Amino acid sequence: MRISIIAAMDERRLIGRANALPWRLPADLRHFKALTLGKPIIMGRKTFESIGRPLPGRTNIVMTRDVGYAPEGVLIARTLNDALEAAREVAGEDGEAMIAGGANVYFQFLPRADRMYLTQVHGPFEGDAWFPAYDRRDWGVIHEEHHPADDKNSSAYSFVTLQRRHAHGRDAAKVSFGRG
């Protein structure tokens, strides 16, 4: 099963502010929907709560350590391996699991990811949640599409698809959780 991260971030890897997106990009939301429909989508509890409901047309897998957490319409996973097993049951070996954040979930899955679907929002924003640092040399660009700001999308942005260049190192030491 392919493990794919899907994220929107600014030039400094900022992904959130007060549990919300720091920008208004309806085109990115449509892109997210198109890429994730029909697939299992793994997210953390805070990300799920910021969305406010299960995303339709997808198997929603929510990672949490809270043993009492049980919202309707989602599968609960306590560990990364539990989340992957639940995704594999839905997607099969030839399918794709989509990792939708937040920061800690991205940090856990980045060493195992095969692909990243990134929306790179041009310009710095203010916020409090960051995508983990990663070595760009480990990733090759397989698609890149640039878009200017317009009357509906507040900032210029690019859709970039990255494929891991090498076999999975699964080496968490290559991933940095900080802003640097």
Confirm whether 180 is domain-assigned: no
The string of pLDDT tens digits covering residues 120-136 is: 999 889 999 999 999 99
The token pair at 80 is 């990364």
Residue 135 in contact with residue 113, Cβ under 8 Å? no
Confirm whether 75 is domain-assigned: yes
pLDDT at position 136 is 92
* Number of domains into which the chain is organized: 1
Residue numbers of the chain with a pLDDT score lower than 50: 169-180
Confirm whether 148 is domain-assigned: yes
The closest alpha carbon to 25, from 118, 143, 133, 99, belongs to 118
CATH number for the domain that contains residue 10: 3.40.430.10
pLDDT at position 167 is 57
Confirm whether 57 is domain-assigned: yes
Confirm whether 81 is domain-assigned: yes
Confirm whether 162 is domain-assigned: yes
pLDDT at position 166 is 75
pLDDT at position 176 is 43
Residue 144 in contact with residue 34, Cβ under 8 Å? no
pLDDT at position 174 is 46
The closest alpha carbon to 138, from 94, 101, 173, belongs to 173
Confirm whether 141 is domain-assigned: yes
What domain range includes position 129?
2-174
pLDDT at position 168 is 53
Confirm whether 179 is domain-assigned: no
pLDDT at position 169 is 46
